[in-house]
């Protein structure tokens, strides 16, 4: 098995996230706090979703520790479960990664503790939270660490420093807010450049934006940095007027995030198109974020010219009884739409 850096040199690395939303839909995560309690309470559900992403062609099993940090565990009264949750998440990811040729990524994220008006004092709290999580991930055998959904360059830099303390390759990505800037005032391409300058292996974007509104920013990031670029959109049909999933509104003008996003979900074909466009822009690491499911990832893998284990069951509509090549006269009455 080769490491992240070697794989990035060789080809696009296909990943997958979206564990939070998918396990929420399946009834194992509570929307709102969004804490990955399922790692302890329903490990089989987490294991199965890892396996589905692996079969869909994901080359990275991302440990389900998003929002598995001290602040969030304290909020739901499970602070004593912090270490077992983190260690279990890594073990589950590692176990499934070994069923294929996948890497294991530890995962740290936005903490809601960092305060740009008090960067020193709040930053120290964040640093300790990251140190314990990254430390457990390293002990459990992570191949690299992802710091994701960053809203502040200041917090992202702390994440990168902690990853570097432990000597693992790093991927640092920002959740692109509707203003094209981080909350502490950096354009997203400039933010990525700051992280590259400090030694991040991979920089880029995840979450918030759908494929359509993420691509133009990826183009700017690709121009701004020379290191590897990551792109993991939330697979929703965002628009220039409503550029993030948080900004999407229904016909009555009501916010649909996070519980009524379904009508905006991208198709597998949208994600296949995204994979091609992102690859052609020079994106090196891609996947899906919140809202993504295994069928999206398989389509991306196939668009990249790959044959995933789950490709065995990829569609063959030529065998469909109504849409197929050998439709009998008596079946034609089922195809009652206007052509």
Judged by beta carbon, residue 13 or residue 234, the one nearer Zn ion is 234
Residue 276 CB-density burial (10 A; 0-12 exposed, 13-18 middle, 19+ buried)? middle
Query: Would you tell me the crossing angle of helices 188-197 and 211-224 to the nearest 10 degrees?
Result: 50
Judged by beta carbon, residue 54 or residue 290, the one nearer Zn ion is 290
- To Zn ion, the closest distance from the beta carbon of 69 in angstroms equals 16
| Subset of 144-203 contacting Zn ion (CB under 5 A) | none
- Report how far residue 277's alpha carbon sits from residue 300's, in angstroms, rounded to the nearest whole number: 11
Of 191, 207, 228, 301, the one binding Zn ion by CB under 5 A: 207
Whether 106 contacts 93, CB under 8 Å: no
Tokens matching residue 25: 């839909």
Residue 245 is a binding residue for Zn ion (CB under 5 A): no
Judged by beta carbon, residue 192 or residue 245, the one nearer Zn ion is 245
- Report how far residue 26's alpha carbon sits from residue 47's, in angstroms, rounded to the nearest whole number: 13
- To Zn ion, the closest distance from the beta carbon of 9 in angstroms equals 27
* Partners of 244 in the β-ladder: 209
Judged by beta carbon, residue 207 or residue 304, the one nearer Zn ion is 207
- To Zn ion, the closest distance from the beta carbon of 322 in angstroms equals 37
Residue 85 is a binding residue for Zn ion (CB under 5 A): no
Whether 112 contacts 74, CB under 8 Å: no
The 3-state secondary structure of 31-56, one letter per residue: CCCCCCCHHHHCHHHHHHHHHHHHHC
| Subset of 257-316 contacting Zn ion (CB under 5 A) | 289-290
Judged by beta carbon, residue 200 or residue 290, the one nearer Zn ion is 290
- Report how far residue 323's alpha carbon sits from residue 62's, in angstroms, rounded to the nearest whole number: 38
- To Zn ion, the closest distance from the beta carbon of 25 in angstroms equals 14
**Segment interacting with Zn ion, rule: CB under 5 A, options 39-47, 73-81, 139-147, 205-213:** 205-213
- To Zn ion, the closest distance from the beta carbon of 207 in angstroms equals 3
- Report how far residue 36's alpha carbon sits from residue 40's, in angstroms, rounded to the nearest whole number: 8
| Dihedral class, residue 145 (left if φ above 0, else alpha if ψ from -120 to 50, else beta) | beta
Judged by beta carbon, residue 158 or residue 175, the one nearer Zn ion is 175
- To Zn ion, the closest distance from the beta carbon of 38 in angstroms equals 16
Q: Which residues bind Zn ion (CB under 5 A)?
A: 207, 289-290
């Amino acid at each position: 098995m080769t490491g992240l850096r070697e794989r990035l040199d060789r080809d696009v690395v296909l990943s997958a996230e979206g564990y939070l939303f998918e396990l929420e839909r399946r009834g194992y995560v509570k929307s709102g706090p969004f804490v990955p309690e399922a790692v302890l309470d329903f490990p089989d559900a987490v294991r199965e979703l890892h396996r589905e992403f692996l079969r869909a062609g994901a080359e990275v099993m991302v440990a389900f520790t998003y929002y598995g940090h001290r602040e969030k565990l304290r909020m739901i009264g499970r602070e004593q479960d912090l270490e077992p949750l983190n260690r279990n998440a890594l073990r589950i990811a590692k176990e499934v990664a070994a069923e294929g040729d996948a890497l294991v990524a530890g995962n740290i994220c936005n903490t809601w503790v960092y305060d740009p008006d008090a960067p020193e004092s709040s930053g120290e709290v964040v640093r300790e939270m990251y140190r314990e999580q990254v430390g457990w991930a390293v002990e459990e055998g992570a191949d690299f660490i992802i710091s994701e959904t960053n809203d502040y360059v200041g917090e992202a830099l702390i994440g990168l420093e902690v990853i570097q303390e432990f000597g693992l390759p790093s991927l640092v990505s920002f959740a692109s807010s509707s203003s094209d800037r981080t909350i502490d005032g950096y354009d997203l391409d400039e933010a990525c450049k700051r992280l590259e300058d400090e030694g991040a292996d991979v920089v880029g974007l995840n979450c918030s934006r759908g494929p359509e509104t993420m691509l133009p920013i990826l183009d700017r990031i690709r121009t701004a940095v020379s290191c590897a670029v990551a792109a993991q959109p939330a697979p929703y049909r965002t628009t220039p007027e409503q550029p993030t999933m948080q900004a999407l509104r229904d016909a009555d003008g009501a916010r649909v995030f996070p519980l009524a996003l379904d009508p905006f979900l991208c198709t597998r074909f949208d994600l296949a198109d995204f994979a091609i466009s992102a690859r052609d822009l020079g994106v090196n690491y891609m996947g899906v974020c919140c809202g993504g499911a295994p069928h999206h990832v398989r389509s991306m893998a196939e668009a990249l010219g790959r044959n995933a284990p789950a490709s065995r069951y990829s569609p063959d509509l030529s065998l469909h009884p109504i849409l197929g090549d050998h439709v009998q006269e008596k079946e034609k009455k089922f195809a009652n739409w206007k052509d």
